[in-house]
Structure 1
Amino acid sequence: MMSLEYKKLNEVLDYEQPSKYIVKTTDYDDSFETPVLTAGKSFLLGYTKEKEGVFKNVPAIIFDDFTTSFHYVDFPFKVKSSAMKILTAKGGFVDLKYVYLQMKQVRIDTQLHKRYWISRFSNKEIPFPKIDLENNYSKTQKHIAQILDDAAALRDKTKLLLEEYDALAQSIFLDMFGDPGVNDKNWKFEEFGSYINVLTDYHANGSYQILSKNVELSNDKDYALMVRTTDLENNNFETDVNYITEKAYNFLKKSKVYGGEIIINKIGSAGKVYLMPYLDRPVSLGMNAFMLRLKPSMNSLFAYFYLHTKYGEWQISKRVKGAVTKTIRKDAVRAIPIIVPPIELQNQFAEKIALIDQQKALAKQELQESEDLFNCLLQKAFKGELV
């Protein structure tokens, strides 16, 4: 096993405020040269024609001071916000990619709205190969980082494949039914409500007082899963989920979920649409969402893809209300206009999507295996077992 020595992040990384590198205008265009980055999830905001104030001392890590999200960057860039730190290696014994990968193991509570790099994150320790510190080089770190990079590349390749399957499914929809906003196939439009058999939610089962007496959520595994839109968003129904007892499940008879339903977020990310997977277990609908079961005259998979077209999303967004807290009502959902091709054609579309879903299931299994491999290697690197 490799000998390790732990060092605080502020001992191995310098930080710089991004003020000099903030873009002056947000007139982005893909034809421009300089990328504009954020440390958040979106990462690349666009490209700017600005030539001055470009950060060139790469590689670097851009670190969101409030969320602690971060990205490794190995090309010149500008930034959009001052709410970040730009981190670079301090000294010849530091390999920045190695540090970046080790930083992924760091966990802190970020519930308070405050800056975290100086106060918390930079004081966290990560392991370094002792041989690198003794010889003032980063040879061992580079070797470890390369192994982890190769594993990450395998994982990212599978993620890209899943994205391509999703794009193929949307392409099949447009090929069969056209763009609903243009409607060059002259489909009839009708109100979505005409094809909804059940539109319900958690609170259809009774008042707040009655529900609080009969339903108690638990993090411990129990009879039924209480599915939330967060679970659907993350496609995760195993970890960090809520459960209810069999008694509570049977009490919530108006919001039992069997699979294949359309779920719509009704508050917060109001109007966000999901398709409930078949989980082969008792499931009940969580709070803050509508559940829709459609009549036999409309295929749920067809409706789901329609609602995810640009036109469908625009129709939903028009019906979302609220300046601060966004909400959508049942009557607004029913009023959404939807094209109505023959049900036979809708079913043909669903059959094609089912074939794609079979391939996606294999890719998801491969993705999980590659995620497990990467996490295993990362743990070994943390313990000094990866050489």
Structure 2
Amino acid sequence: MSLFSSHNASKNGTFGSRRKPVSGPAANGWEMTTVANVAAESKGAIRTGPFGSQLLHREFTDAGIAVLGIDNAVENEFRWAARRFVSEAKYRQLAQYTVHPGDVLITIMGTCGRCAIVPNDIHAAINTKHLCCITLNRTKCLPVFLHGYFLRHPLARAYLARKAKGAIMDGLNMGIIKGMPIPLAPLELQQRFAQHLIAVNDVKAAHRASLTQLDALFASLQHRAFRGEL
């Protein structure tokens, strides 16, 4: 089940075609709104990370509170990459940048325009200035819907392509993210989409597990062959 048309979106989630989308929200009769209007009503629901002297490179530690960056979202799904930490004391100074399970992360510097959802099992963490972190009002918009819309819908991709700035590389800012138009599907339809997505991800996980088992079997057979035991 797909809520999104992907013919104008690139596979890796970077900015795709700059053509205008061939279809719009009017065809679905969905409410037209913005990302700012589907964010939680709490202060800082849409935020970037600490800037400048708020967090210096020398303040990173080998353990403590995790600091999320571009590498955690660059594959368009959340992944642990190079681990960065700050101390508990530093975290207390930067607590306003805390990320929460289900938050949507968007890369806004460097490798720009990638998107991931913070997993439910994450411990305390903050994000860097290279990410825009969005806490949603889930009575309006589910994280999986915004994630899919951001990456696949031609309206979103065309908007981001127009708004991206920077002479050397594309760049986004919080204002651009807040103002991004979004045709908001009914919550029931979003929930059905989420259920289908869970089923698809379960199949993908099973396939990955099978590949891991096959790799282990091949390694075992290879080892036995080298020892002349076959």
Which structure 2 residues correspond to residues 193-272 of structure 1 after superposition, within 5 A?
193-197=36-40, 198-203=45-50, 208-212=52-56, 216-218=59-61, 220=62, 222-234=63-75, 235-237=78-80, 240-272=82-114
Question: Which one of the candidate residues 169, 183, 192 is aligned to 1:339?
Answer: 183
Residue 28 of structure 2: aligned partner: 185
Q: Is the 8 A contact 2:35 2:182 kept in 1?
A: yes
Number of residue pairs the alignment of both structures matches: 204
- 1:264, CA displacement in angstroms? 0.8
Instruction: Describe the shift of the 1:347–1:300 C-alpha distance in structure 2 as closer, same or farther (beyond 3 A).
Output: same
Instruction: Describe the shift of the 1:217–1:317 C-alpha distance in structure 2 as closer, same or farther (beyond 3 A).
Output: same
Tell me whether 1:172 sits opposite 2:14 in the alignment.
Answer: no
Tell me whether 1:300 sits opposite 2:130 in the alignment.
Answer: no
Residue 282 of structure 1: aligned partner: 124
Which has the higher Rg, Structure 1 or Structure 2?
1
Q: Is the 8 A contact 1:223 1:282 kept in 2?
A: no
Q: Is the 8 A contact 1:271 1:320 kept in 2?
A: no
The structure that is strand-richer by fraction is 1
Q: Structure 1 stretches (4+) deviating beyond 6 angstroms?
A: 384-387
Question: Which one of the candidate residues 353, 357, 377 is aligned to 2:197?
Answer: 353
Q: Is the 8 A contact 1:266 1:289 kept in 2?
A: yes
Amino acid at match of 2:64: Y
Q: Provide the rounded CA distance (Å) in 2 between the counterparts of 1:302 and 1:287.
A: 24
Amino acid at match of 2:74: E
Once the two structures are aligned, what percentage of the paired residues are identical? 16
Instruction: Describe the shift of the 1:286–1:360 C-alpha distance in structure 2 as closer, same or farther (beyond 3 A).
Output: farther
Aligned with 1:181: secondary structure?
A: coil
* 5+ residue gaps, structure 2: 6-20
Larger RCO (alpha carbons 8 Å, 6+ apart): 2
Tell me whether 1:321 sits opposite 2:149 in the alignment.
Answer: no
Q: Is the 8 A contact 2:4 2:149 kept in 1?
A: no
Deviates more, 1:255-264 or 1:276-285: 276-285
- 1:291, CA displacement in angstroms? 0.3
Which structure 2 residues correspond to residues 105-184 of structure 1 after superposition, within 5 A?
171-174=1-4, 181-183=23-25, 184=27
Aligned with 2:133: secondary structure?
A: strand
Q: Provide the rounded CA distance (Å) in 1 between the counterparts of 2:65 and 2:189.
A: 36
Amino acid at match of 1:279: D
Q: Provide the rounded CA distance (Å) in 2 between the counterparts of 1:333 and 1:251.
A: 26
Amino acid at match of 2:73: L
Q: TM-score, normalised by structure 2?
A: 0.73
Q: Provide the rounded CA distance (Å) in 1 between the counterparts of 2:23 and 2:176.
A: 19
Aligned with 1:193: secondary structure?
A: helix
Aligned with 2:148: secondary structure?
A: helix
Residue 50 of structure 1: aligned partner: none
Q: Is the 8 A contact 1:217 1:242 kept in 2?
A: yes
Q: Provide the rounded CA distance (Å) in 1 between the counterparts of 2:164 and 2:196.
A: 32
* 5+ residue gaps, structure 1: 1-170
Q: CA RMSD in A?
A: 3.2
Tell me whether 1:309 sits opposite 2:156 in the alignment.
Answer: no
